[in-house]
Amino acid sequence: MSDDLASLVTAIARRARAASLLLATAPTAAKDAALAKLADLIDGAQAALLAANARDLASPEAADQPAAARERLTLTPAKLAHLAQSVRAVIALPDPIGTELEAWTRPNGLRIRKLRVPIGVIGIIYESRPNVTVDCAILCLKSGNACILRGGRESFHTNTALAALIAQALTAAQLPADAVQLIPTTDRAALTTLLRLDTLIHCIIPRGGESLIRYVTQNSTIPVIKHYTGVCFVYVDRDADAGLAEKILLNAKVQRPGVCNAAEQLLVHAAVADTLLPRLAAALLANNVRLRCDPASAAILARAQLAHTAATPADFTTEFLDLILAVRVVDSLDAAIALINRDGSAHTDAIVTRDPAAAARFQAEVDSAVVLWNASTRFNDGFEFGFGAEIGISTDRLHARGPMGLRELCTYKYVVDGTGQVRG
Amino acid sequence: MSDDLASLVTAIARRARAASLLLATAPTAAKDAALAKLADLIDGAQAALLAANARDLASPEAADQPAAARERLTLTPAKLAHLAQSVRAVIALPDPIGTELEAWTRPNGLRIRKLRVPIGVIGIIYESRPNVTVDCAILCLKSGNACILRGGRESFHTNTALAALIAQALTAAQLPADAVQLIPTTDRAALTTLLRLDTLIHCIIPRGGESLIRYVTQNSTIPVIKHYTGVCFVYVDRDADAGLAEKILLNAKVQRPGVCNAAEQLLVHAAVADTLLPRLAAALLANNVRLRCDPASAAILARAQLAHTAATPADFTTEFLDLILAVRVVDSLDAAIALINRDGSAHTDAIVTRDPAAAARFQAEVDSAVVLWNASTRFNDGFEFGFGAEIGISTDRLHARGPMGLRELCTYKYVVDGTGQVRG
């Protein structure tokens, strides 16, 4: 059984590798034709997709899910229409492949060009949301990468139905159907085998909770690009505009508290904490945010008779993903930078200040993927950056950092033209 | 004991992380001052370094090494002078840090800049050659990265003496001495601990043989940049100039057969094999190259009465690192491309042809880091590319591919300036 599974997964990876070599040089028009066909197929197959989804929702695995997870798992006609639209949106994006990134000529006459090319075969390991099947497949396709999809047990039938449409769209556009393959089992042993096929698969992107990402990282010999969650800070400097601070902090905390670029931590400079913190706290409390305070901020809020609780040490490094904010008073810009570099997750951090020198120091010394001055942390996002698509927000430093669009799914090769040069 | 080791290694990594935050914004002048001081210290400490090296050479581990490994381990006054010179050469290289890679403004007025920054903390795991201690330390230093060095048992005393000079040079330049630290033990358990410190160390670069790289890849939860060896091809097309083919092939095979960018595999188009192959084989044989042939090439060489043996299947995927070449005849450019993508290692491959269309197809469809037209495979090299330095040749596709210089030791961050922007 285990041998059979290993053969099955290895055969899928071999076919993906072969398909990737064809897809790497496929014309943009063919890739876009497959995308157009897929969008039409999704529109035309609503009933079948909803039926597959109903089977998943009726399964014991789905019944065990909390309400929020069941909601993510559930397809609706509106969600499917949105999915088809997101496929069409990728047609409009420029093809990243073939771009000349650099070119130069050496003294010996060798002409060197650095060209953007696909990575090759990408494995996507994900959990409940079936739209990931399509989201990841279309971004890999447009960037010329073959992909192997391994979804969750609770969305197996939906994923299978979507994968069949993708294969049909690829074939219609005369592209290899093996360029997008779904692992036809959710057996953990199949995943473990997949994660060791480092001669056939070039990159693994896990999309899901921390335990999934950790399992993948610890078991993969293939390079992994991680999308861990964010412990994001807003630092209100001594020279902050009060209105701007309130507006940015509220947006960062409450506009969508369950995502990785929402603020979890507030630092306020001691010189303005007495006046600013009560105003900020009142605005947060009016939006149902609970405040977990260090002694200095607790004393200020107590004097102002504003609700708060004492923070535990763990609160200062926690990603709450909820309407909770940890609050501290700091004595200086230096202290703020040091705390963020110590307690944060190097994801997204913002300073609110009128002082350009303070902003410049913050942005240079805070060691995070995105460092903002007078703007909400919520802008660390592929769409907000203008990438037109997003496969995730990388928390790694190698290859891609921050929002990952089509270009971040590419690598490069060096094309060298000579006239008989040899080394002496 | 094991707990002590784990604490020791973790403490080193914590100090490296703290040092990396200081080094990330250190001025170029300070980094260059440390390099200048180090070069002078190496010049001034020749006697002490040779004494430390003599201790290593007298150890049982060194006695067990084959002659070539002992030669790599052995320092001489000339090698030390060369080492000091290589440190001075890095002073002359441009500082990669702070460069604006891209900048754009969003419709909402957000100004986004993508700036090159250091990766953070890099772990270098290496074997016998003690010069790696200095080579890696100076490239990490110039690129603003802290590094943790874990060298081999057989060069322990030499590495320790060199690391002491590096610390002295850092201190003299008022940079943190913890920016370069040598693990003061070669216990395997210390390495295993190091490879799991993924919150403190951001990248591992193993430099050594395949078994070392494999051990690191399988045990690291930190991203690894691999420098595997190369199964490099030269393909002589039907339209090749005979003289050019001979010159390029000879250089690729014999100029330095023991390195990763030397040619190991020859493919010759069937249309010209009868005339060209005997000429190429004669030139190779005159340079003591042994030929391992497929049946078609063997038949041609037999008719020409040129020495050769029959290849085994394994020969066609082998990196010989020796004066041995596997030879095959192919029926077409397509067949050559398919064989290279199947049997090669995606490292460095060359086509010899007068036909620009054949060259373009070869360079587009061969899925390797460096694809050359009418030039020797030996040019896949950081110095030959003009990078001025090289920490290795990456065989990975993520982050860095091919020669790695200072820029490839960097990542980027997004610096975003707003005027109160929030998400709607």
pLDDT digit string, tens, across residues A234-265: 999 999 999 999 999 999 999 999 999 999 99
Q: Measure the CA–CA gap between A331 and A296, rounded to whole angstroms.
A: 11
Give, for A372, the enclosing helix (H) or strand (E).
strand A370-375
What residues of chain B lie within 8 A of the CB of A341, using their CB?
21
Regions of chain B where pLDDT drops below 70: 1
A369–B415 C-beta distance less than 8 A: no
CA A22, A25, A30 angle in degrees (round to 5)?
85
Q: Which of A202, A364, A378 sits opposite B25 (nearest CB)?
A: A364
What residues of chain A lie within 8 A of the CB of B356, using their CB?
none
Beta-bridged to residue A115, according to DSSP, are: A100, A413
What residues of chain A lie within 8 A of the CB of B416, using their CB?
370-373, 375, 379
Which residue is listed with tokens 């599974």?
A5
Please name the amino acid found at residue A19: A
| Edge-first strand listing for the sheet containing B180-182 | B180-182, B146-150, B121-126, B203-207
Helices (H), B255-332: 270-286, 295-303
How high is the pLDDT of residue B67? 85
A260 Cα to chain B: minimum distance (Å): 14
Beta-bridged to residue B122, according to DSSP, are: B147, B203
Which residue is listed with tokens 């010049």?
B43
Q: Measure the CA–CA gap between B402 and B409, rounded to whole angstroms.
A: 13
A401–B411 C-beta distance less than 8 A: yes
Q: Which of A370, A386, A423 sits opposite B106 (nearest CB)?
A: A386
What the block records as the tokens of A1 is 């059984």
User: CB contact, 8 Å: A202 with chain B?
Assistant: yes
Integer-rounded Cα Rg, in Å, for chain A is: 24
Q: Which of B247, B374, B413 sits opposite A369 (nearest CB)?
A: B413
With b for 16 or more beta-carbon neighbours within 10 A and e for fewer, the B262-275 pattern comes to bbbbbbbbbebbee
A106–B422 C-beta distance less than 8 A: no
Domains of chain A are 2-228+403-417 (3.40.605.10), 232-379 (3.40.309.10)
Q: Which of B341, B414, B422 sits opposite A21 (nearest CB)?
A: B341
Which residue is listed with tokens 């926690």?
A318
Are A290 and A309 spatial neighbours (Cβ–Cβ below 8 Å)? yes
Task: Name the pTM for this structure.
Answer: 0.95
Beta-bridged to residue B232, according to DSSP, are: B263
Are B104 and B405 spatial neighbours (Cβ–Cβ below 8 Å)? no
What the block records as the tokens of A317 is 């490094």
How far is Cα of residue B96 from the mean position of the Cα atoms in its chain? 19
What the block records as the tokens of A50 is 């909803």
Q: Measure the CA–CA gap between A380 and A374, rounded to whole angstroms.
A: 14
- Write the Ramachandran bin of B399: left for phi over 0, alpha for psi from -120 to 50, otherwise beta: left
How high is the pLDDT of residue B210? 87
CB-count exposure of residue B30 (10 Å: 0-12, 13-18, 19+): middle
Q: Read off the pLDDT of each residue in A86-114 and give the average, rounded to a whole number.
A: 97
B225 Cα to chain A: minimum distance (Å): 9
B369 Cα to chain A: minimum distance (Å): 5
B422–A378 C-beta distance less than 8 A: yes
Which range (A22-26, A401-405, B66-70, B215-219) has the least confidence? B66-70
A398–B414 C-beta distance less than 8 A: no
How high is the pLDDT of residue B250? 98
Which residue is listed with tokens 């019944």?
A63
Are A336 and A267 spatial neighbours (Cβ–Cβ below 8 Å)? yes
Residue of A nearest to B400 (CA): A399
The pLDDT of residue A1 is above 60: no
* φ/ψ of residue A423, rounded to 5: -90, 140
User: CB contact, 8 Å: B415 with chain A?
Assistant: yes
Percent of chain A with pLDDT over 90: 92
Are B125 and B391 spatial neighbours (Cβ–Cβ below 8 Å)? no
Give, for B267, the enclosing helix (H) or strand (E).
strand B263-269
Q: Which of A25, A378, A399 sits opposite B399 (nearest CB)?
A: A399
Q: ipTM of this complex > 0.90?
A: yes
The pLDDT of residue A184 is above 90: yes
Q: Which of A255, A365, A368 sits opposite B25 (nearest CB)?
A: A365
A170 Cα to chain B: minimum distance (Å): 20
User: CB contact, 8 Å: B176 with chain A?
Assistant: no
A21–B367 C-beta distance less than 8 A: yes
Q: How many helices (H) and strands (E) in chain A?
A: 15, 16
Q: Measure the CA–CA gap between A208 and A153, rounded to whole angstroms.
A: 13
Q: For the residues of A77-134, what is the DSSP string, one character each?
A: HHHHHHHHHHHHHHHTSPP-TT-EEEEEE-TTS-EEEEEEEE-SEEEEEE-S-THHHH
B129 Cα to chain A: minimum distance (Å): 24
Q: For the residues of A196-246, what is the DSSP string, one character each?
A: T-TTT--EEEEES-HHHHHHHHHH-SS-B-------EEEEE-TT--HHHHH
Q: Which of B373, B401, B411 sits opposite A418 (nearest CB)?
A: B373
pLDDT category of residue A75 using cuts at 50, 70 and 90? very high
How high is the pLDDT of residue B127? 87
A397–B398 C-beta distance less than 8 A: no
* B residues 12..71 contacting A (CB < 8 A): 21, 24-25
Residue of B nearest to A356 (CA): B417
The beta strands (E) that lie in B164-223 are given as: 180-182, 203-207
What the block records as the tokens of B405 is 């210089």
Q: Measure the CA–CA gap between B389 and B411, rounded to whole angstroms.
A: 18
What residues of chain A lie within 8 A of the CB of B223, using their CB?
223-224, 396-398
What the block records as the tokens of B29 is 């002048």
pLDDT tens-digit series, residues A29-61:
999 999 999 999 999 999 999 999 999 999 988
What the block records as the tokens of A374 is 């007078």
Q: Measure the CA–CA gap between A139 and B118, rounded to whole angstroms.
A: 29
Which residues are CB-neighbours of B82 under 8 A, at least 6 positions away? none
What residues of chain B lie within 8 A of the CB of A223, using their CB?
223-224, 396-398
How high is the pLDDT of residue A63? 83
- Residue with the bigger pLDDT between A282 and B153: it is A282
Q: Measure the CA–CA gap between B400 and B143, rounded to whole angstroms.
A: 15
Pairing of strands B290-293, B309-310: parallel
pLDDT tens-digit series, residues A134-168:
999 999 999 999 999 999 999 999 999 999 999 99
Q: Measure the CA–CA gap between A369 and A260, rounded to whole angstroms.
A: 13
Q: Read off the pLDDT of each residue in A172-182 and give the average, rounded to a whole number.
A: 98
User: CB contact, 8 Å: A275 with chain B?
Assistant: no
A261 Cα to chain B: minimum distance (Å): 12
Which residues are CB-neighbours of A302 under 8 A, at least 6 positions away? A308
Q: What's the whole-number average pLDDT of chain A?
A: 96
- Residue with the bigger pLDDT between A258 and A3: it is A258
Q: Number of CB pairs < 8 Å for A and B?
A: 201
Residue of A nearest to B421 (CA): A375
Residues B42, B48, B51, B57, CA torsion sign: negative
Q: Measure the CA–CA gap between B221 and B5, rounded to whole angstroms.
A: 19
pLDDT tens-digit series, residues A343-355:
999 999 999 999 9
Q: Measure the CA–CA gap between A158 and A149, rounded to whole angstroms.
A: 13
B341–A417 C-beta distance less than 8 A: no
A423 Cα to chain B: minimum distance (Å): 7
Task: Count CB atoms within 10 A of the CB of residue B156.
Answer: 21
What residues of chain B lie within 8 A of the CB of A120, using their CB?
367, 397
Please name the amino acid found at residue B245: A
* φ/ψ of residue B165, rounded to 5: -65, -40
Please name the amino acid found at residue A263: A
Q: Which of B367, B375, B423 sits opposite A421 (nearest CB)?
A: B375
For residues A393, B220, A410 and A417, what is the CA-based torsion angle, rounded to 10 degrees?
A: 150
Which residues are CB-neighbours of B214 under 8 A, at least 6 positions away? none
Q: Which of B110, B385, B401 sits opposite A379 (nearest CB)?
A: B110
B422–A375 C-beta distance less than 8 A: yes
Residues B33, B34, B36, B41, CA torsion sign: positive
Q: Which of B373, B378, B399 sits opposite A398 (nearest CB)?
A: B399
Are B398 and A225 spatial neighbours (Cβ–Cβ below 8 Å)? yes
How high is the pLDDT of residue A210? 87
How high is the pLDDT of residue B293? 98
Percent of chain A with pLDDT over 70: 100
* φ/ψ of residue B111, rounded to 5: -100, 120
How high is the pLDDT of residue B100? 98
* A residues 85..144 contacting B (CB < 8 A): 104, 106, 110, 112, 117, 119-120
What the block records as the tokens of B133 is 């201690």
B371–A416 C-beta distance less than 8 A: yes
Q: Measure the CA–CA gap between A351 and A371, rounded to whole angstroms.
A: 8
pLDDT category of residue A62 using cuts at 50, 70 and 90? confident
